[in-house]
Amino acid sequence: METTVNERIALLKTKLNLGTNEFSQTAGIAAGTVWNIENGGNVSSKTIKSISKSFNVNIDWLKTGKGKMMMEVIETKGSNPWQDEAYVALKDEVSYLRTLVSQLIAGKGNPNFLKALDVAKVPLYLLKGIYSGANAAH
C-alpha cells in the first residue's frame, strides 16, 4: 500500500520518537505545521527540504515513498581541512562533557553543571550518549 507524504512524515516522527515540539524545532518549522501535516494538510517543498536536511532523510522517500527512509552517511574526514578541525574540536568537547558527567556520577562534580546543561538546552539524546560513554569508561 502506498503512503502519502503526510503519513511518511508522521512515520518518521514516530520512528525518531519525537514529540511535535521537538520535531518541529529540530526541523525549523512551526509546531502547527507539523500538526497540520499529521492531519492531512498540504506539505510545501520547503518543509520537505527542511525535514530531509534536519533528519538526514532521503528526500525521494519523503516525496514519493521510493527508496530508503534514511540517507547513508558518507565518511568525508580527510577531504576538507576545516572539517577535520571541526571534527577534532567536537570530539574534544564531547570528551570534556564525558569527564564532567563521569565526575557527577562519582559524586565529585559540580551539581550546577546540570543546570548549565538545562540552560544551554543540551538535547537529552546527547546526554544519554555521553552518560553511556561515561559508564563505558569505568
Q: Could you read off the pLDDT of 57-74 as tens digits, one per residue?
A: 889 999 999 988 887 655
State which residues form the domain around 54: 5-64
For the segment 88-134, what is each residue's pLDDT rounded down to a tens digit? 666 666 666 667 666 666 666 666 666 555 545 555 555 555 444 44
Q: The whole model's pTM is what?
A: 0.54
Establish if 70 belongs to a structural domain. no
Task: State the CATH number of the domain containing residue 12.
Answer: 1.10.260.40
pLDDT surpasses 90 at 30: yes
Dist CA 28 CA 90 (whole Å): 23
Q: Is 73 within a domain? A: no
pLDDT score for 75: 52
Residue (of 14, 21, 4, 13) closest to 63 by Cα position: 4
